[in-house]
Amino acid sequence: SGLFEALEYLIDHSVDIIAFDGELGYETCIEFLEAISSDIENKETPLVIVTPIEEYCRFSALAASFNIISTLSSEHCHLQLANLLALLHKQIKSAKELRSELVQSETRSVIDPLTKAYNRYGAEDKFHALTAKYKAYQENFSLIIMDIDYFKKVNDTYGHDIGDEVLISIATLIQKSIRKKDALIRLGGEEFIVFISNADIYIASKIASNFRQAIEESRHSSKNLAITASFGVAQYRANEDLESLIKRADELLYKAKKTGRNRVVSI
């Protein structure tokens, strides 16, 4: 009965390994193995059978049909089982650490380490998600491209450390201003883009104007620098790729810079 009490527990729980006593009887063990193999939570769980020596070969033959990793003789099982459990625990720990590292690596790969904005890989992921929504629901979205005015002068005058502080300050300001469904991306250097979800060109232009004003009215870095930025705004067009959308917005940004900087230009 103890075997099936364990089975009731396993119905609602997953475990790292299952070890059971073959002395309960061959037919009983077969029923238990079949029940485990049909349990979603534990059908891949490693199994160990501890069996009397005279039944060793019979139980060992079951390994081909079930997820049995070891069959141990009950006369000499204690040290073997302890060693096996220690090895399995080490392997499980290593696998969990590896999965954690992979998750962190995937996160790092789409995040700019300086500003904590998305990088270019993150931009592509967000763009694909937004275009999928557009195709499914005709939900418009827009892209704002921003470039910090005279940023080279900041680096030349105060050094790159202060330049980095300015980048962090502006990225933080924008991150606090946008919605969760929007996304800030650092393209490189002092250039950023912002995806504005569910927004046409008029809404996105207003949001860009708010960014421009907030940047101008704030003071940035430990030097309390007055900084301005220029903006180009473009709305997504059906079947357009990311490069085309960025290029159209960048052309408008160039116009903003040519006509005096610290301004927003949209179509």
Tokens matching residue 214: 């907030």
The active-site residue out of 54, 75, 106, 190 is 190
The DSSP secondary structure of 115-159, one letter per residue, reads T-SB-HHHHHHHHHHHHHHHHHH---EEEEEEEETTHHHHHHHH-
H helices present in the chain, as ranges: 2-11, 26-37, 56-60, 77-109, 120-137, 151-158, 160-177, 201-217, 242-258
Quick count: other Cβ atoms within 10 Å of Cβ 31?
14
- Is 190 among the catalytic positions? yes
**Active site amino acids:** 190
